[in-house]
């Protein structure tokens, strides 16, 4: 996802506009076991219908992943753990992970992706292979990766041929499963390329709903670090341009312009393929949740009385 193509205009955003409020409705958010540990109670931060993705970074024990999923599910949130194909040894390992998630954390949703590891540790290298195992039959919702700025791991030549072929395969798979499917993307910073990409998918007959990745408020240095680590593409230039402006260098980045522009486009084009926002809380979950509320997102779930 592109971190630097977030074109910052320094124009006051339309806070709490109806368009932005509608666009943020039902947003999801991503956590890792180590970041989840810092949150005392997710109910105090997130709307009660929030879907919480649990990112599986290579080297994280499955026990920590399942424990995090169990804890967040116990607080009343739907959890969607990552299943990165390239860090899963074989079908037996995949079956074990699924059994643990389902048995201990009531998991019914999953994000399937190749994963950021260059060399697969075992039999899988793509999310399509995971789907083909049949082990996800019975899941309520299955999300797969979308790449608005392309993906050099899949198309080293800079084209998007392999990415598009994979999307056509996933589109066909969606017609064969009862699970709801959607594309979850890396975080991006520039709206126009995202709009162009979504329109292209529609023209190609790929109508899987898009859950667009949005980097939550964070220090500029933090965003640049994550953007480079995550392989963010052309939009990285937005952050680089911002970093060269000393008047903005120390100011926190906020996704106001990006979200506002996409929200306006969605309002003007109701059939536009972006269905939902997926936040990467790079500056912290509390900071991200506060920003969402300030910009029209739903407030946290009501406190549960003991």
The pLDDT score that the predictor gives to residue 225 is 67
- Domain with 130 in it: 18-293
| Model confidence band, residue 218 (pLDDT cutoffs 50, 70, 90) | confident
In a domain? residue 305: no
- For the chain, what percent of residues have pLDDT higher than 90? 68
The pLDDT score that the predictor gives to residue 234 is 56
In a domain? residue 2: no
- For the chain, what percent of residues have pLDDT higher than 70? 80
| Model confidence band, residue 102 (pLDDT cutoffs 50, 70, 90) | very high
In a domain? residue 188: yes
pTM of the model as a whole: 0.86
In a domain? residue 161: yes
Please compute Rg for the chain using Cα positions. 19
* Interval 227-252: pLDDT, tens: 555 555 555 555 656 555 545 555 67
| Model confidence band, residue 13 (pLDDT cutoffs 50, 70, 90) | very low
| Model confidence band, residue 300 (pLDDT cutoffs 50, 70, 90) | confident
Question: What does residue 49 show for φ and ψ, rounded to 5 degrees?
Answer: -95, 10
Q: What is the average pLDDT value for the chain, to the nearest integer?
A: 86
pLDDT (average), residues 138-154: 83
The pLDDT score that the predictor gives to residue 299 is 78
- Given a cut of 90, is residue 29 above it in pLDDT? yes
- Given a cut of 80, is residue 90 above it in pLDDT? yes
More confident: 236 or 181: 181
| Model confidence band, residue 160 (pLDDT cutoffs 50, 70, 90) | confident
Output the domain CATH number for residue 82.
3.20.20.220
In a domain? residue 10: no
- Given a cut of 50, is residue 277 above it in pLDDT? yes
In a domain? residue 302: no
Question: What does residue 239 show for φ and ψ, rounded to 5 degrees?
Answer: -70, -40
In a domain? residue 159: yes
| Model confidence band, residue 28 (pLDDT cutoffs 50, 70, 90) | very high
The pLDDT score that the predictor gives to residue 267 is 96
Cα–Cα distances (Å) from 237 to 11, 232, 233, in that order, read 19, 10, 8
HEC readout, the chain: CCCCCCCCCCCCCCCCCHHHHHHHCCCEEEECHHHHCCCCCHHHCCCCCCEEEECCCCCCCHHHHHHHHHHHHHCCCEEEEEEEHHHCCCHHHHHHHHHHHHHHHCCCEEEEECCCCCCCCCCCCCHHHHHHCCCCCCCCEEEEEECCCCCCCCCCCCCCHHHHHHHHHHHHHHCCCCCEEEEEEEEECCHHHHHHHHHHHHHCCCCCCEEEEEECCECHHHHHHHHHHCCCCCCHHHHHHHHCCCCCCCCCECCHHHHHHHHHHHHHCCCCCEEEEEEECCCCHHHHHHHHHHCCCCCCCCCCCC
* Domains identified in the chain, total number: 1
- Given a cut of 60, is residue 14 above it in pLDDT? no
pLDDT (average), residues 30-59: 95
């Amino acid at each position: 996802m592109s971190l630097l193509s977030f074109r910052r205009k320094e124009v006051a955003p339309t806070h709490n506009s109806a368009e932005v409020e509608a666009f943020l409705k039902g947003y999801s958010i991503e956590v890792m076991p180590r970041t989840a540990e810092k949150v005392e109670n997710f109910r105090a931060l997130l709307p009660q219908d929030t879907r919480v993705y649990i990112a599986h970074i290579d080297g994280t024990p499955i026990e920590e992943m399942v424990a995090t999923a169990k804890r967040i599910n116990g607080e009343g949130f739907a959890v969607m753990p990552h299943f990165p194909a390239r860090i899963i040894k074989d079908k037996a390992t995949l079956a074990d992970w699924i059994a643990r998630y389902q048995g201990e954390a009531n998991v019914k949703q999953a994000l399937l992706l190749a994963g950021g590891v260059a060399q697969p540790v075992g039999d899988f290298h793509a999310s399509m292979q995971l789907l083909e195992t049949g082990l996800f039959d019975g899941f309520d919702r299955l999300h797969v990766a979308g790449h608005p700025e392309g993906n050099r791991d899949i198309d080293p030549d800079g084209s998007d041929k392999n990415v598009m072929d994979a999307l056509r395969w996933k589109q066909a798979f969606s017609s064969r499963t009862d699970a709801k499917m959607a594309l979850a993307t890396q975080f991006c910073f520039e709206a126009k390329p995202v709009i162009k990409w979504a329109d292209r998918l529609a023209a190609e007959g790929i109508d899987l709903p898009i859950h667009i990745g949005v980097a939550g408020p964070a220090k500029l240095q933090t965003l640049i670090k994550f953007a480079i680590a995550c392989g963010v593409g052309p939009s990285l230039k937005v952050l680089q341009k911002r970093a060269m402006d000393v008047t903005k260098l120390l100011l926190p980045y906020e996704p106001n312009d990006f979200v506002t522009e996409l929200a306006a486009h969605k309002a003007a084009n109701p059939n536009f393929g972006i269905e939902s926002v997926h936040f990467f809380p790079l500056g912290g979950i509390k900071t991200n949740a506060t920003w969402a509320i300030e910009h029209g997102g739903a407030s946290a779930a009501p406190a549960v009385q003991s």
